[in-house]
Amino acid sequence: MERITIRFKVNGEDATVAVAPHWNLLRVLREELELTGAKEGCGAGECGACTVLVNGRAVNACLYPAVEADGAEVTTVEGLAGPGGELHPIQRAFVEKGAVQCGFCTPGMVLSAKALLDRVPLPSEEEIRTALAGNLCRCTGYAQIIEAVQAAAEELSR
Amino acid sequence: MSATAVVGKAVPKVDGAEKVTGRTVYIHDLKIPGMLYGKIKYSDRVSARIVSIDTSEAEKVPGVKAVITAYNTPEIRFGFLKDNTALKKDRVRQYRDEIAAVAATTPEAAEEAVRKIRVEYEDLPAVFDPDEALAPEAPRVHETDARGKPLKDNRLRLPWRVEAGDVKAGEEASAFVAEGEYEVGWVTHCCLGTSGCIASFDPHGNLTMYSNTQIPSLARTDYMEALKAMGLRGRVRVVNAAIGGGFGSKLDTYAHEYIAILLAHRTGRPVKIVFDREEEFFATSPRQPVKVRVRQGCDAQGRLTFREISMVLDNGAYTSWGATTPTVMMMPATSLYRVPNVRFEATCVYTNNTYCQAMRGYGTPQVTFAIECNLDELAEKVGLDPLEMRLRNANEPGEVTPQGFKVTTCGHRECIEEVAKRLDWKNKRGRAGQTGSKRRGVGMACLMHVGGGAKIYRSDGCGTLIKVDDFGNVDVFSGSMDIGQGLDTVLRQIVAETLGVGIERVNVIVGDTDVCPWDVGVHASRSTFIAGNSALNAARMVRDQILEFAGQMLEAPPEILALENGQVVCREDPSKNLPLAKVLRRAHFAKTGNTMFMAAHFYEPDTDMLEGEFKGNYSCTYAWGCHGVEVEVDTETGHVEIVKYVAAHDVGRAINPMLLRGQVQGAVMMGIGYALSEEMIFEQGRLRNPNFRDYKILTAKDAVKVEPVIVETEDPAGPFGAKGIGEPGLVPSAPAIANAIYDAVGVRLNRLPLKPERVLRALKEREAPSGPCGALQREG
Amino acid sequence: MAAKGFSYHRPTSLGEALALLADLGPGAVPVAGATDVWVNLRAGKLAPEALVSLRNVPELSGLRKTEHGLVLGACVTHAEVEDDLWVAEHFPALHQACSGVGSRQVRNVATVGGNLCNAAPSADSAVGLLLYDAECRIETGTGHRDVPLTEFFAGPNRTVLGPGEVLAEIRLPLPAGRTFAGYRKITRRKAVELPMIGIGARVTLGTDGRVAEARIALGVAGPTPLRVRKAEERLEGEPLTREAAAEAAEIAAQEAKVRDSWRGEAWYRREMIRVWIPRILDEAGAWEGREGEL
């Protein structure tokens, strides 16, 4: 099978992977690089469980052709915590505000929140809801997730 | 309320850090060396005879290690009535029927092989409507039962009937009677993490199932039976990966699990089957559709005199544990509000639709929709405010309901009052003079649920083992599971409180049947209560052992000693206080009589399993609640916007208010989806919307901020006074919203979901009742 | 995983892209954000020999604002439109249409040109663009041709693009005069939805205060996104009154070729056209402070 070698940065580190044209970025991250934080929830861009950042923008890795990651900077949930393992303020807020239940949507949710706060440091509640709308959660009913993003925004803006 | 150090505190979920960093391992993330990937070939027909299955092309796909069908594997029967088989032989009865399966070295090879399996069918008649299925001439979904005994119709032989008091006399004594028919369709769990498992045999024929089941102990029994059917004598171990959502979907064992076992055994390699989203929608079992007929009456003052409920449930083609949901529907049917004379009857019917299962609420959302909508209709006949109607009939502590439920603590009345107060009910209800297209209204509905376990199985118990090391670290092995609800955290709080140590000292181990004691499963909102009591009792035993030993060390009677803040504390002489670790090491490394502290407790609640007449007390305590909602209905579009939502729950005591709020908020949003947006659309047995685009669970943009009201009644039977709260939050959402819509615009909707088209149609038909679509006729 | 067996090409100039498409022949499919293409590949609905990615073609990117209007590179993403305040001010209906597509993750990669080329009857952005008389510039390999968006769609999921042709730009003139416009998609929930019916309206007043230009466009009301000329004609040349808007809405509702499907009932789709055309204009401020004038 034809393979194309792509070179990109994942969480700040260089990665080189020979990918098949039909692979998506999610497969490269999960299967080739063993970064299993991004989940496949639907495979059709409808649930957001596979959300990662490509050049700072939130995308569904399940719909992102692996080839297109060539030259990109990719951030996965594994890349958010600090060097000593201390949680990113968004991650900490999710834990402390009760925004995590089964956790399957959490990595994607955290990354959507990060993409938003990088773009809009102090978003309105409506902006938060809009940014997270593509991340489905069946456990929490979203309220504590929204509050966690608000708390993280305040902390990051201090 | 007794003073506590960690119970009652908003302790963050203990696995939160792992989950936010993406380190948690779900079944999707788990790989075992040598593992193969399994894939299932489902039926292309809804009802047909299998004429032949050709797997020859599939077998030729590179990487394929096995292709199995019912014709080359032993028959594994499963399900509540054992009417289902892992692979179907001769006959298919629903589109999701499993005909063959493949194990291959890659998922792609398995998929390709499945595509190459050719099946020849001979179509048979099918039946999709439960009422039609009950007709004598209806096509038979099953010709025989599991034992081969002929079945004369599609009615399931399940005795779901209860009667108490004298319904006829009750009706005769009634001044008012309301009667109605209510209909609810299919909805499904939508766990973000799909179903899956890995089956792995060791060289001795022992099976390890890596699973995401909610019932490790019962699943183990089921898998053991499967091994027996395969002629194997190995042991079974069930190990749970993290669970990406349960909600009742994993309360039973399913064909894909048995298929993984068959493939693993055939190939001698571990086999993983994980559903994709489409399979998760069409090949897992949804909540049952139900048609409910309710009649209830009251005297001139609005006091309920009788209630009669009959219903037909669409069971689908096979029978899961979900077929027992009527035994729980009986509870609100007979006992929500004080009703002296009650009758309940449920008929489960085979159809060629997908077979159904349990889902959060276990039948009570369906029946509560009917009861609570109908109660508003009755109140209107009496001329009573629905609030007043509810207060007049609210359940009270100390009553024994006609079905025999012993109501101990009961915050029903308080929940209703809280909702009325916070919703400003008196001012908001029946607002006259609203103009424009947007009209507001308020509605409420109550709930009753099991709050102290539910004896649906022969045992409703849970075991706990606790051991303490030399430093005061505590390991708690519980039979229960965390499925995201926070059991891991709640057990830590209970044990830490009892042993007087910080919660960081307590480690909870769940989800491994080789290590953990038996538990009936994570269902019935029972885990905090049952697993909590089990852990509490085991912790008390350990505490008593420690204090006994410390008493000897300190020459003090154990009664004046306590465990607090990592110390053995002497209440009468603080100078005698000792660090706990010192006591533990002294016991372990003594010159003689060395000991370490550990205890095991199996907690079985003192409740009745209902059979025969279905009378008795199947839960140690009951959970009560009331939801109130203010809606704004757009009379031109039928759109219903929720303006305010108050959820008051009698929770006994909140062990962890933050996690509790998460349970209520999450359940209410699921309930709002049930009410307004979610529906599985089946056409001739085929699911049309097996994806998140077309099956509409609500998003963050739709999220309603629920105002939770925690009513604490401190149940004496609960751990630190707690009752269950996992399910109650979604039970009354739909009727509360339907009642609010009526208050706003004066139309009653008896069918879920209350989608804009239905609301608008009802409004149009009221304006122009003549045509089938009233004013809409003009479009010709 | 998507269907396999295709090659993947990443040209970095328009010339290279056109040459590749010419060389690879009809088995090659141009792809931009890939959000539709990838789903179709996975579902087995699409089995191309080659994908030619237009994502890295600079000539197709960028959003240019001039005094005459807006030029959207075909590969401008929905999020770029969503985040652009100038577009929100001058082309509010397009802004609303693009902001409501899928989720932020989808909008970050899905392109406006891709949405048009996918040619779904439900395409939100197409309805928004139809309101503003969008014109499509098509690069043919030997030159270019300009096609009004009204003539771009050839049927469900079909366009007038020939083999080897690429949609390069979408050009929108600035409405001349006081304009009220908006787009509303009717959905069960508030995000991650296709419209059950998509409704757009624009009215631009002339110096005489009468309606100089009216545009009514609909999605899921026929085989392609479409304009309802009869409804527009009802408004043009007249003062903009509520009665006129209601009548135009009624005409649009009658003209719409809506269907019954499990996704929605025809009568309801029709009814929403009736209700929402006047509402869209109302929400855009068409009658704000003008009640006295009418």
Which domains, from first to last, does chain A contain? Answer: 4-79 (3.10.20.30), 89-157 (1.10.150.120)
Check A142 against B700: CB less than 8 A apart.
Answer: yes
Q: Domain holding B96: CATH number? A: 3.90.1170.50
Mind listing the pLDDT tens digit for each residue in C230-271? Answer: 999 999 999 999 999 999 999 999 999 999 999 999 999 999
pLDDT beyond 60 at A87: yes
Set of chain B residues whose Cβ sits within 8 Å of the Cβ of C188: 676-677, 696, 755-756
Q: Domain holding B471: CATH number? A: 3.30.365.10
**Residue spans of alpha helices (H) in B100-184:** 107-115, 130-133, 167-172
Does residue B212 lie in a domain region? yes
Set of chain B residues whose Cβ sits within 8 Å of the Cβ of A37: 21-23
Note the Cα B479 to chain centre separation in Å.
18
Neighbours of chain A (3+ CB pairs under 8 A): B, C
The rounded distance, in Å, linking the Cα atoms of B700 and B714 is 34
The whole-angstrom distance between A71's CA and the closest CA on chain B is 24
State whether residue B662 sits within 8 Å of chain C by CB. no
CB proximity list for B775: less than 8 A, separation 6 or greater: B764, B767, B768
Does residue B165 lie in a domain region? no
Domain count, chain B: 3
pLDDT at site B517: 98
Residues B492 and B596 placed together within one structural domain of the fold: yes
Asked which of B578, B603, B628 is the last residue of a domain, the reply is B603
CB proximity list for B697: less than 8 A, separation 6 or greater: A136, A138, B190, B673, B677, B678
Q: What is the ipTM of this complex?
A: 0.98
The rounded distance, in Å, linking the Cα atoms of B185 and B752 is 7
| Paired tokens of B398 | 């100390």
Asked which of B282, B303, B336 is the last residue of a domain, the reply is B282
pLDDT at site C293: 56
| Cβ contact B38:B103 at 8 Å | yes
| pLDDT band with cut points at 50, 70 and 90 for residue A2 | confident
Does residue B178 lie in a domain region? no
pLDDT beyond 60 at B776: no
Does residue B79 lie in a domain region? yes
pLDDT at site C292: 56
Asked which of B603, B628, B659 is the last residue of a domain, the reply is B603
| Cβ contact B332:B447 at 8 Å | yes
Residue that wins the pLDDT comparison between B159 and B197:
B197
Q: What is the CA radius of gyration of chain A?
A: 15
Residues B473 and B553 placed together within one structural domain of the fold: yes
The residue assigned the tokens 């009589």 is: B593
Mind listing the pLDDT tens digit for each residue in B83-118? Answer: 999 999 999 999 999 999 999 999 999 999 999 999
Average of per-residue pLDDT values in chain B: 96
Of B637, B689, B776, which is closest to C267 when you measure between CB atoms? B776
The residue assigned the tokens 């499919």 is: C29
pLDDT beyond 50 at B51: yes
Of A44, A129, A141, which is closest to B277 when you measure between CB atoms? A44
Mind listing the pLDDT tens digit for each residue in B438-473? Answer: 999 999 999 999 999 999 999 999 999 999 999 999
Check C189 against B696: CB less than 8 A apart.
Answer: yes
Check B703 against A146: CB less than 8 A apart.
Answer: yes
Q: Which domain holds residue B95?
A: 31-124+194-243+250-282
Residues B212 and B331 placed together within one structural domain of the fold: no
Check B779 against C254: CB less than 8 A apart.
Answer: yes
Of B189, B192, B665, which is closest to A144 when you measure between CB atoms? B665
| Cβ contact B373:B739 at 8 Å | yes
Fold assignment, C7-53: 3.30.43
pLDDT at site B780: 32
Residues B202 and B56 placed together within one structural domain of the fold: yes
Q: What is the CA radius of gyration of chain B?
A: 28
The rounded distance, in Å, linking the Cα atoms of C185 and C221 is 12
Domain with CATH 3.30.465.10 in chain C: 61-173
Q: Which residues of B243-281 are buried (b: 16+ CB within 10 A; e: fewer)?
A: bbbbbbbbbbbbbbbbbbbbbbbbbebbbbbbbbbbbbb
**Residue spans of alpha helices (H) in B275-356:** 277-282, 325-335
CB–CB contacts below 8 A, A to B:
176
Fold assignment, C61-173: 3.30.465
pLDDT beyond 60 at B779: no
Does residue B521 lie in a domain region? yes
Does residue B3 lie in a domain region? no
Mind listing the pLDDT tens digit for each residue in B356-386? Answer: 999 999 999 999 999 999 999 999 999 999 9
By C-alpha distance, which of B337, B406, B408, B329 is closest to B652?
Answer: B408
Q: What distances in angstroms separate CA B316 from CA B69, B117, B190, B686, one per listed residue?
A: 23, 26, 19, 12
Q: What distances in angstroms separate CA B263 from CA B74, B115, B231, B250, B389, one per listed residue?
A: 12, 18, 15, 21, 59
Q: In chain C, which stretches have pLDDT less than 70? A: 1-3, 291-294
Does residue B654 lie in a domain region? yes
Check A44 against C39: CB less than 8 A apart.
Answer: yes
Mind listing the pLDDT tens digit for each residue in B179-188? Answer: 999 999 999 9
Q: Which residue of B has its CA nearest to A110?
A: B20
Residues B428 and B479 placed together within one structural domain of the fold: no
| Cβ contact C104:A128 at 8 Å | no
| pLDDT band with cut points at 50, 70 and 90 for residue B432 | confident
| Cβ contact A135:A84 at 8 Å | no
Note the Cα B574 to chain centre separation in Å.
48
The residue assigned the tokens 């489902």 is: B42
Residues B639 and B579 placed together within one structural domain of the fold: no
The rounded distance, in Å, linking the Cα atoms of A26 and A64 is 8
Residues B557 and B632 placed together within one structural domain of the fold: no
Name B450's bridge partners.
Answer: B622
State whether residue A58 sits within 8 Å of chain B by CB. no
Domain with CATH 3.30.390.50 in chain C: 179-283
Q: Which residue of B has its CA nearest to A141?
A: B666
Dihedrals phi, psi of B92, to nearest 5 degrees: -115, 150
| Paired tokens of C134 | 């969008």
SS3 label, residue B704: coil
Dihedrals phi, psi of B700, to nearest 5 degrees: -60, -30
Domain with CATH 3.30.43.10 in chain C: 7-53
Q: Which residue of C has its CA nearest to B641?
A: C189
The residue assigned the tokens 């299998």 is: B50
Partner B, chain C 183-222, Cβ-Cβ below 8 Å: 186, 188-194
Check C191 against B701: CB less than 8 A apart.
Answer: yes
| pLDDT band with cut points at 50, 70 and 90 for residue B774 | very low
Mind listing the pLDDT tens digit for each residue in B567-607? Answer: 999 999 999 999 999 999 999 999 988 999 999 999 999 99
Set of chain B residues whose Cβ sits within 8 Å of the Cβ of C194: 693
pLDDT at site C289: 77
Residues B212 and B266 placed together within one structural domain of the fold: yes
> Which one of 3.30.390.50, 3.90.1200.10, 3.30.70.20, 3.20.20.105 gives the CATH number of domain C179-283?
3.30.390.50
Of C190, C262, C267, which is closest to B773 when you measure between CB atoms? C267
The rounded distance, in Å, linking the Cα atoms of B719 and B520 is 18
Q: Which residue of C has its CA nearest to A136?
A: C192
For residue B629, give the DSSP letter: E
Average of per-residue pLDDT values in chain A: 97
| Cβ contact B36:B272 at 8 Å | yes
Q: Which residues of B367-383 are buried (b: 16+ CB within 10 A; e: fewer)?
A: bbbbbbbbbbbbbbebe
Q: How many residues does chain C have?
A: 294
| pLDDT band with cut points at 50, 70 and 90 for residue B724 | very high
Set of chain B residues whose Cβ sits within 8 Å of the Cβ of C271: 637, 760, 776
The whole-angstrom distance between B598's CA and the closest CA on chain A is 30
pLDDT beyond 70 at B777: no
Residues B405 and B348 placed together within one structural domain of the fold: yes
State whether residue B635 sits within 8 Å of chain C by CB. no
State whether residue A130 sits within 8 Å of chain B by CB. yes
